Amino acid sequence: MAKVEPLTTARVLRGPFDYELPEGAGIGSVLEVPFGHQTLLGVITGLAEQSEHQLVAPRRVLEHSLPPDLVELALWMAAEYCSTPARALGLVSPPSGARAKTALWAEVVEVPQEARLNDNQRALLESLPRFTGADTAALRRLEGRGLVRIAPRIVRRHVVHTSVGARRPEAPPLTGEQEAALAAILAAEPGEGLLLHGVTGSGKTEVYLQAVARALDRGESAIVLVPEIGLTPQIVSRFVDRFGDTVAVLHSKLGTGERHDEWARLRAGGARVCVGPRSAVFAPLDRLGLVIVDEEHDSSYKHEGDPRYDARAVAAQRARMTGAVLVAGSATPRPESFLALRRLRMGSRVDGASLPKVEMIDMREARRALHPLTVHALHDARKSIVLLNRRGWSNFLTCRSCAEVWMCPECDVSLVLHRSEDLIACHHCGHREPVPTRCDTCGSVSIGRHGTGTERLEHELAEAGHPVFRLDADTPKAAFVLAAFERAERGILVGTQMVAKGHDFPDVTLGVVLDADATLRFPDFRAEERTFALVAQLAGRAGRGAQDGRVLVQTIAADAPSLAYAARHDSEGFLAGELRRREALRYPPYSTLIRVVCSSAEPGAANAAAQAVRDALPAPALGPAPLFRLRGRERSQVVVKATDRRAAIAAVDGAVRDVAGRRDHKAAAFSVDVDPQ
């Protein structure tokens, strides 16, 4: 008998349910099962001898099944992130909506000496075996004479990669530091986690590549997680260049067909290395030997849907369950990883180059977005990168007569001007409207534009005669912008935090951060960590080639410790201080935070629900605290800070289920975030 978890998003429907076990099916098989009046997809999560229920037979067993270790991983995730097994299984399941693509393949059976063939037919036979393509009809005639055999065959949909950045298909001899790191990885215990803490340009990718090569030699497979693929095409290219077809790349931009084919290749063993963003942690590989998390500080590893999993934690769990080795790498590791993982340090750049000199520029007296010193430096540098973590033209519009600010009708945030599209937009819900010509309240036509975003900066730099390449969430093809910037003789790459990802452009000598303290102004205990990482990462893009690099940091908080540590490239010093502060305030990694957000379109309902959740909790919690209205829904949150992680997760899960099931809180929706970012 099979225990089947139906793949439904309904929270109330909790399996597993018992069904007859079809021939040949086992844990991980995906089935179509009758469920009430409907047919649902389901996954076998367990087997049992007998059931007290009358058993129903599944309708069908699907072609692809899940490896049993992914079933176990999904059940762990459901519990760890207060979700349901069905939702977690949905994340690890084979991609639906596509099948293998087939085409007709022709091969020669036998051509007797006496066969009468014209030149065309001989040429056709010579060209086999191959897909029939345009010659299907002619080949069918030969098939009719028994000369050729034609049958459908699976065609792989091809995935195209844009190569960007310095290329190096052959493995270079390792530096001493790389050698030591590789040796430690190869000697690690099964299930162990290591932190490769290497400064920018220390050659972490080469260590990953050689560790993966050794795993493959041992007959094992590997997963390589990278931040958003569109932004990090370089690392993907390096793996594809080095390992060719044994690499499958899974990412969100793949079509359903391509996704299906890559998944099937991994499942069947045709591909043994999976490179991809956070969801690649679910790659259906067996004999997993190595899981790499590159740029482990990157916030894209946190999934914002239900279950709100953190791919770094899931990667560590998968490694523990399968006996693989986990390697998390970064120049700016999170305090969590710094504390929990065994550290491997690479303190110098591969070519012996020094890290760039970082200078603070005090902007308290400045009147323009770019300080004159910055303007000069940009003028002198051939290639530079400018980071401004704000897209659009200007942050907000106000009426000069009555001071009215243009706000989103659905969210409590101001609308941002996008001049090239001639509209103002909400960066939270996507609401857009035409640029106003007069004030709705007082009728004045004098409208002020405040602040500078990447679009305006691009315009100003272009006016000053620089070739500018802009990279932000409004850029449709990030990989093309990066490739164009790489090819350019001179130019400035301008953009949001996207420009500070792991790019490797040896001829960039200048890095500039504008409004560096912007991230410090967020009321969040991770504000320092984010600010430090952003500045240190941007600094890491400069001076990677023969010439020395220079970094300018424009700020109104020049003495903020996180900026000072970043300027000295002192990540150990920063982490030591940050860990002391967190321990004193009992923040992660010295506690677990769980956030419950209640939302509702009905006024007051979100706050009432949050209050009820707080009351239903066995221990005191913080809140309810209002959050800004989003997508027309009021929001309110309760935060639990706990030392006993398991007990706290169970308590929150219980409280939320209790309140969500009550009739008086029907109007509220609940979302639970364990380890919020």
Q: Which of residues 466-485 bind ligand ADP (CB under 6 A)?
A: none
635 is an interface residue for Zn ion by CB under 5 A = no
Question: Which positions from 397 to 436 touch Zn ion by CB under 5 A, shown as an x/- string?
Answer: --x-xx-x---x-xx--------------x-xx-x-----
Segment near ligand ADP (CB under 6 A), from 12-20, 28-36, 204-212, 450-458?
A: 204-212
Query: Rounded CA gap, 212 and 182, in Å?
Result: 10
Query: Rounded CA gap, 2 and 25, in Å?
Result: 9
The set of long-range contacts for 19-27, using a CB threshold of 8 Å and a minimum separation of 24, is 19/55, 19/56, 19/57, 19/58, 20/55, 20/56, 20/57, 20/58, 21/47, 22/57, 22/58, 22/61, 24/61, 25/58, 25/61, 25/65, 26/65, 26/68, 27/68, 27/71
206 is an interface residue for ligand ADP by CB under 6 A = yes
Shortest spacing between CB 403 and Zn ion, in angstroms: 7
Question: Which positions from 437 to 456 touch Zn ion by CB under 5 A, shown as an x/- string?
Answer: --x-xx-x------------
Identified binder of ligand ADP from the candidate list 85, 198, 230, 277, rule CB under 6 A: 198
Residue 203 interaction partner, one of Zn ion, ligand ADP, none, beta carbon < 5-8 Å per kind: ligand ADP
> Residues in the chain, how many?
677
Residue 399 interaction partner, one of Zn ion, ligand ADP, none, beta carbon < 5-8 Å per kind: Zn ion
In 18-115, alpha helices (H)? 68-80, 85-92
Shortest spacing between CB 397 and Zn ion, in angstroms: 11
Q: Which of residues 484-513 bind ligand ADP (CB under 6 A)?
A: 502, 504
Residue 198 interaction partner, one of Zn ion, ligand ADP, none, beta carbon < 5-8 Å per kind: ligand ADP
Segment near ligand ADP (CB under 6 A), from 19-27, 124-132, 203-211, 272-280?
A: 203-211
Shortest spacing between CB 106 and ligand ADP, in angstroms: 44
Q: How many residues bind Zn ion (CB under 5 A)?
A: 15
Residue 27 interaction partner, one of ligand ADP, Zn ion, none, beta carbon < 5-8 Å per kind: none
Strand ranges in 451-537 using DSSP code E only, listed in sequence order: 468-471, 491-495, 510-513
φ, ψ of residue 79 to 5 degrees: the values are: -75, -40
Question: Which positions from 68 to 87 touch Zn ion by CB under 5 A, shown as an x/- string?
Answer: --------------------
Residue 426 interaction partner, one of Zn ion, ligand ADP, none, beta carbon < 5-8 Å per kind: Zn ion
C-alpha distance from residue 420 to each of 6, 153, 218 (Å): 47, 49, 54
203 is an interface residue for ligand ADP by CB under 6 A = yes
Shortest spacing between CB 547 and ligand ADP, in angstroms: 15
Residue 408 interaction partner, one of Zn ion, ligand ADP, none, beta carbon < 5-8 Å per kind: Zn ion
Residue 583 interaction partner, one of Zn ion, ligand ADP, none, beta carbon < 5-8 Å per kind: none
Name the residue nearer to Zn ion (CB basis): 354 or 444.
444
Q: Which of residues 137-166 bind ligand ADP (CB under 6 A)?
A: 166
Three-state DSSP at 492 gives strand
Inter-residue contact 89 to 15 (CB < 8 Å): no
Query: Rounded CA gap, 507 and 492, in Å?
Result: 12
350 is an interface residue for ligand ADP by CB under 6 A = yes
- For 123-134, letters b (16+ CB in 10 Å) and e give ebbeebeeebee
Name the DSSP letter for residue 128.
-
Name the residue nearer to Zn ion (CB basis): 450 or 586.
450
C-alpha distance from residue 48 to each of 16, 20, 157, 225 (Å): 12, 10, 40, 36
202 is an interface residue for ligand ADP by CB under 6 A = yes
The tokens describing 237, both together, are 């290219």
185 is an interface residue for Zn ion by CB under 5 A = no
571 is an interface residue for ligand ADP by CB under 6 A = no
Name the residue nearer to ligand ADP (CB basis): 15 or 329.
329
Name the DSSP letter for residue 302.
B
**Terminal Cα-to-Cα distance of the chain (whole angstroms):** 42
C-alpha distance from residue 357 to each of 511, 551, 552, 643, 657 (Å): 10, 6, 9, 41, 54
Three-state DSSP at 262 gives helix
Cβ atoms within 10 Å of 283's Cβ, excluding its own = 28
Query: Rounded CA gap, 335 and 575, in Å?
Result: 6
Shortest spacing between CB 439 and Zn ion, in angstroms: 3
Cβ atoms within 10 Å of 446's Cβ, excluding its own = 11
Identified binder of ligand ADP from the candidate list 60, 168, 477, 646, rule CB under 6 A: 168
Residue 271 interaction partner, one of Zn ion, ligand ADP, none, beta carbon < 5-8 Å per kind: none
Residue 410 interaction partner, one of Zn ion, ligand ADP, none, beta carbon < 5-8 Å per kind: Zn ion
543 is an interface residue for ligand ADP by CB under 6 A = no
Task: Give the position of tokens 């849907």.
Answer: 305
Residue 133 interaction partner, one of Zn ion, ligand ADP, none, beta carbon < 5-8 Å per kind: none
Segment near ligand ADP (CB under 6 A), from 141-149, 173-181, 223-231, 442-450?
A: 173-181
Strand ranges in 58-147 using DSSP code E only, listed in sequence order: 60-61, 101-108, 130-131
Inter-residue contact 317 to 142 (CB < 8 Å): no
Residue numbers at the binding site for ligand ADP (CB under 6 A): 166, 168, 172, 174-175, 178, 198, 200-206, 350, 502, 504
Residue numbers at the binding site for Zn ion (CB under 5 A): 399, 401-402, 404, 408, 410-411, 426, 428-429, 431, 439, 441-442, 444
